[in-house]
A and B are shown apart, each in its own frame.
Chain A
Amino acid sequence: MSKYILHTNSLTKNFKQQVALNKVNLSIKKGSIYGFIGQNGAGKSTLIRIVSGLANPSTGSIELFGHSNERELIKARKRIGTIIEGPALYPHMTATENLEAHRLLKGIPGNESVEKMLVLVGLQDTGKKKAKNFSLGMKQRLGLGIALLGDPEFLILDEPINGLDPMGVVEIRELLKKLNQELGITILISSHILSELHLLATDYGIIHKGELLEQLTVEELHEKCQQYLHIKVDNPEKATTILETTLSTNNFEVMPDGVIKLFNDVDNPGKVSSILVNEGLIIEQFMPMGQDLESYFTSRIGGAHHE
């Protein structure tokens, strides 16, 4: 049994002259919350639509739960729940009726699953109120309830927190965490609200102009986003010796251009600079640096811009 729920193999999608996805090799581990990051038009929704069976790839293939042929993929999709570009609701139906229509569609026996889902997403008191009169947050929660019908093993959520108020965002985040941690549901979540993804995701994929630039775990991201002191001196070798002896640390990296990244004493730059100066080194550059997910993402796609 593969440890991956989803794997795409050189997935490419062309729209006439435009390349929407270019040889994307994406892998999502079982049990992870995969934050799919990209600007509008980067290719997130296109990939999600192909995985969900709404569009066909131009070339390449997908493997879902280890299945890759068309017939098996259709069956495998019974094990996923989706919200794609907003919740798909029947506006003239109530929450119960919407869930009932989807319960029948998925062939789930008994209507106790509908009651259970209404409670889970907090819509049990909406009564005869039609979905068209729901707030955006209620619509999103109902969409999530529909996606969760049939106990899916893999949730695909395209911009599920778009337009939600802060309380709504927190509610959805907590619900998704609970589903992942308590029920082991793997989640692919695309969003351009990176601060929110940062609180949720265990893995990340960065897509830009149809190309998957990078996949990394949250640990790798933290490592890359770690705060450090950026030090450039006239004699890097001497500086590293001073750091090892005087500051008693080897928690630094020397970059090919001689820049030293010191990960200790980030909060005490004065102490570090005075030690180096006292040892007779000339400091050319000295500044605290570091990134959050947003700046890391910007630097990645910024880099891609210049390539």
Chain B
Amino acid sequence: MSNLIRSEWYKLKKDRSLWALTLLLILVSVLYPLLILFGGGVEVVKVSDIYQLTALGGNDLVLRIAPCILAGFFISSEYSIGTMKSMAASGNSRIRIYFSKLIVYTIGAILIALIFPVVMTGAGAIYFDFNDMPGLGYFVQTIGLTILYTAAFASIMAVFATIFTDTGKATGVMIIFFLIFDSILYTLSDFIPLFEHVANNYVGKLFLDIVNIDAYNGGEMVQLVLVPVLTFAVFGIIGSMLFQKKEIK
């Protein structure tokens, strides 16, 4: 499987959508705290506020959109340009092909998801003289959870990218899905109790809670960690099963 991962890693490094998204997000991360500095009229800015409210809070939207674009270009395009045919005919099992793709794609998604929390916080720290930095424990925990939740999102997105096999279609459907799914889920949960349970344990909802990690007890922490891990595993298995059955055209 190492050969597959090396090949995927090589392709990820050459993926222009990854670099475009990375540059764009770095640009926003560097410029946005400057806007606060020069245009906000705020006298004392805490770096911990930038981290919690802007970097982690704004990352929700990044996480719902940017990995969809990456999935479209990194996964679906393999079908549309026909390179998935040479991968499937290369003498590697479909499960290995799927998981190597998923692992490397997840790494790419994580790199994107960490730009706001790391670069924006770093830029904010420089601009605001390291005023009231977030605690190291809090920072490490939230970064760790961001990584877990990105992996969970990536696993779901990889399933979509495998089903749709067309870059534009896959990206469009995924962005729409991840932007409106929460609303649909909450609406359904008003009528059907089962959906309320799903809505409360859905990664899209729990991800919003990681900013409040300090307030959680042991049981809630376990839930916060376990849900993305299980989501990654379950959707990874679903995706690999779909890929195994899939006729590659």
A residues near B (Cβ < 8 Å) are 49, 52-56, 74-80, 82, 84-93, 97, 100-102, 104-107, 146-147
Contacts A82-B85, A85-B82 given; 11 further ones with Cβ under 8 A? A54-B89, A54-B247, A55-B248, A76-B91, A82-B86, A87-B82, A88-B81, A88-B82, A90-B11, A93-B14, A105-B86
- Mark interface residues in B78-94 (1 if CB within 8 Å of A CB, else 0): 00011111111111110
Closest to B86 in A: A88
Complex Cα–Cα for A92 and B20 (A): 14
User: Would you call B90 and A92 a contact (CB within 8 A)?
Assistant: no
Complex Cα–Cα for A293 and B81 (A): 34
Q: Given B2, B16, B88, B91, which contacts A79 in the complex, CB threshold below 8 Å? A: B91
User: Would you call B85 and A84 a contact (CB within 8 A)?
Assistant: yes
A55 and B11 in contact, given A80-B89, A88-B86 (Cβ under 8 angstroms): no
User: Would you call B81 and A101 a contact (CB within 8 A)?
Assistant: no
User: Would you call B248 and A102 a contact (CB within 8 A)?
Assistant: no
- Mark interface residues in B224-249 (1 if CB within 8 Å of A CB, else 0): 00000000000000000000000111
User: Would you call B93 and A88 a contact (CB within 8 A)?
Assistant: no
Complex Cα–Cα for A100 and B90 (A): 14
User: Would you call A101 and B11 a contact (CB within 8 A)?
Assistant: yes
User: Would you call B83 and A100 a contact (CB within 8 A)?
Assistant: no
Sampled A-B contacts (17; CB under 8 Å): A49-B247, A54-B88, A54-B89, A54-B247, A54-B248, A55-B248, A74-B92, A75-B91, A78-B90, A78-B91, A89-B81, A90-B81, A90-B83, A97-B14, A104-B3, A106-B91, A107-B2
A91 and B81 in contact, given A77-B90, A101-B7 (Cβ under 8 angstroms): yes
Q: Is B6 an interface residue (CB 8 A)?
A: yes
- Please indicate the chain B residues that have their CB under 8 angstroms from the CB of A79 in the complex: 91
* B183 vs chain A, min Cβ distance (A): 36
* B110 vs chain A, min Cβ distance (A): 21
Decide if the interface of chain B is mainly helix, strand, loop or mixed: helix
- Across the A-B interface, how many residue pairs have beta carbons closer than 8 Å? 81
Closest to B82 in A: A88
Q: Is B177 an interface residue (CB 8 A)?
A: no
Closest to B97 in A: A105
Complex Cα–Cα for A105 and B86 (A): 9
- Please indicate the chain A residues that have their CB under 8 angstroms from the CB of B84 in the complex: 88
- Please indicate the chain B residues that have their CB under 8 angstroms from the CB of A90 in the complex: 11, 14, 81, 83
* B226 vs chain A, min Cβ distance (A): 34
A104 and B10 in contact, given A55-B247, A55-B248 (Cβ under 8 angstroms): yes
Complex Cα–Cα for A147 and B90 (A): 10
Complex Cα–Cα for A84 and B89 (A): 10
Closest to A54 in B: B248
B residues near A (Cβ < 8 Å) are 2-4, 6-7, 10-11, 14, 16, 81-93, 247-249
- Please indicate the chain B residues that have their CB under 8 angstroms from the CB of A87 in the complex: 82
* A128 vs chain B, min Cβ distance (A): 13
Q: Given A52, A76, A78, A85, which contacts B88 in the complex, CB threshold below 8 Å? A: A52
Closest 3 CB pairs of A and B: A78-B91, A107-B3, A104-B7
Closest to B1 in A: A107
* B2 vs chain A, min Cβ distance (A): 8
Complex Cα–Cα for A59 and B89 (A): 20
- Please indicate the chain A residues that have their CB under 8 angstroms from the CB of B3 in the complex: 104-107
User: Would you call B82 and A82 a contact (CB within 8 A)?
Assistant: no
User: Would you call A105 and B82 a contact (CB within 8 A)?
Assistant: no
* A52 vs chain B, min Cβ distance (A): 4
Complex Cα–Cα for A185 and B181 (A): 53
User: Would you call A105 and B14 a contact (CB within 8 A)?
Assistant: no
Complex Cα–Cα for A104 and B4 (A): 7
* B42 vs chain A, min Cβ distance (A): 43
* A218 vs chain B, min Cβ distance (A): 28
- Please indicate the chain B residues that have their CB under 8 angstroms from the CB of A75 in the complex: 91
A54 and B91 in contact, given A90-B11, A93-B14, A104-B10 (Cβ under 8 angstroms): no
Closest to A106 in B: B90
Complex Cα–Cα for A124 and B249 (A): 31
User: Would you call B83 and A89 a contact (CB within 8 A)?
Assistant: yes
User: Would you call A104 and B6 a contact (CB within 8 A)?
Assistant: yes
- Please indicate the chain B residues that have their CB under 8 angstroms from the CB of A89 in the complex: 81, 83
User: Would you call B10 and A101 a contact (CB within 8 A)?
Assistant: yes
* A28 vs chain B, min Cβ distance (A): 16
* A186 vs chain B, min Cβ distance (A): 16
* B209 vs chain A, min Cβ distance (A): 39
Complex Cα–Cα for A79 and B85 (A): 16
- Please indicate the chain B residues that have their CB under 8 angstroms from the CB of A107 in the complex: 2-3
* B15 vs chain A, min Cβ distance (A): 9
Complex Cα–Cα for A53 and B11 (A): 23
User: Would you call A52 and B89 a contact (CB within 8 A)?
Assistant: yes
